[in-house]
Amino acid sequence: MSYVLQTEGLTKTYKKTKVVDQVSLTVRSGDIYGFVGKNGAGKTTFIRTVLGLTRPSGGTYRFFDGMALNDARRKVGSLIEGPALYRNMTARENIELYATMLQVDKGRSLMLLQTVGLADTGKKRVGDFSLGMKQRLGIAMALVGDPDLLILDEPINGLDPKGIVEIRELLLTLHQQGKTIFLSSHLLGELEKVATRYGIIANGHMVEEITAEELQRVCVARTVIKTNDPLKAAVVASRFLQTGEVTVEGDRLLIAGTLDNIGALTNALFAENIVVSGISSDDNRAEEYFIRKMEEG
Ligand SMILES: Nc1ncnc2c1ncn2[C@@H]1O[C@H](COP(=O)(O)OP(=O)(O)O)[C@@H](O)[C@H]1O
Ligand SMILES: [Mg+2]
């Protein structure tokens, strides 16, 4: 299969404003596709459009190498902006009711609850669930039809750190089980830990599509050294490390990559009477990269 979802020039206009503007993207089988953009960038509108909840104003979208849309929709599970759940029912009752509505097998409900870590919630009513539990139940609901593609709109929005970790682990489990996942987020750091490919959207425009490997290549980690004399330190460090990849930014020395001989380097700096007041590794560069791209867009 060459693609799971492909859009070409997809556009959605509300009152003459192009909320989604000529978005072309490709989700391939096995991707965890991170759709990144600030609030208001057009992520939800894009998702609602490909799910058929609203009509595109222009452009096209296709699933699974152009499979007939009615068949394709049965192989897509989704969760948009918080799940529609019955508060007075248990997790299992919610799933079974939804399975009945979709006319699919109800027998998978326990297995689905196990997958999302809710198997032990028994008689507890969904109204008493935490936000994280509701979100995981929402993902279980999206899985009811045993879809090949899961589309999740901001699945970690509003969750506490523990809830975020749980969703992240769940996504990785589902990915291992062979699901292709498309998820949107404005929380870059969290996407970075799971995505295999990214699409960056700003003001309705696709700014860039980039694979996780490409992102790693452009965002290699840096070692940051704070000193009292950064210019002299740069000269000493370049000579010591035999690399030209040393730059100065304020009172900081930035060296590409993480160093395994950091002790020897600080000794060399001390020997030249340079005072080192701090050393850290700067591995947050992907986030900077996304922010820059979104600003450019
Ligand atoms: N039904 C609608 N009618 C008019 N404007 C809308 C509608 N839905 C979304 N918008 C506008 O489209 C823009 C993008 O919204 P949205 O797709 O929700 O962005 P995101 O999900 O990235 O935060 C926003 O400016 C929003 O106000
Ligand atoms: Mg949204």
Phi-psi region of 3 (alpha: psi -120 to 50; beta: other; left: phi over 0): beta
Q: Print pLDDT tens along the chain (297 aa).
A: 789 999 999 999 999 999 999 999 999 999 999 999 999 999 999 999 999 999 999 999 999 999 999 999 999 999 997 788 999 999 999 999 999 999 999 899 999 999 999 999 999 999 999 999 999 999 999 999 999 999 999 998 888 888 888 899 999 999 999 999 999 998 777 677 789 999 999 999 999 999 988 888 777 778 899 999 999 999 999 999 887 789 899 999 988 877 788 889 999 999 999 999 999 887 667 888 888 888 877
- Is the distance from CB of 228 to CB of 278 less than 8 angstroms? no
* Distance (Å) from CA 64 to ligand 1 centroid: 27
- Residue 199 beta carbon below 6 angstroms from any ligand 1 atom: no
- Residue 19 beta carbon below 6 angstroms from any ligand 1 atom: yes
Q: Edge-to-edge strand order for the sheet containing 205-211?
A: 76-79, 149-153, 180-185, 32-36, 197-202, 205-211
- Residue 53 beta carbon below 6 angstroms from any ligand 1 atom: no
Q: Edge-to-edge strand order for the sheet containing 276-282?
A: 246-249, 252-256, 222-227, 276-282
- Residue 37 beta carbon below 6 angstroms from any ligand 1 atom: yes
* Nearest protein CA to atom 3 of ligand 1, as residue: 14
Probe ligand 1: pick from 10, 21, 23, 45, max atoms within 8 Å of CB? 45
Residue 30, classified by CB atoms within 10 Å of its CB into exposed (0-12), middle (13-18) or buried (19+), is middle
Could you give the angle at the alpha carbon of 43 between the alpha carbons of 37 and 44, nearest 5°? Answer: 145
The Cα 158–Cα 118 span in angstroms is 19
Nearest atom (ligand 1) to Cα of 39 = 23
- Which domains does the chain carry? 5-217 (3.40.50.300), 219-289 (3.30.70)
- Residue 40 beta carbon below 6 angstroms from any ligand 1 atom: yes
Nearest atom (ligand 1) to Cα of 15 = 4
**Separation of CA 169 from chain center:** 13
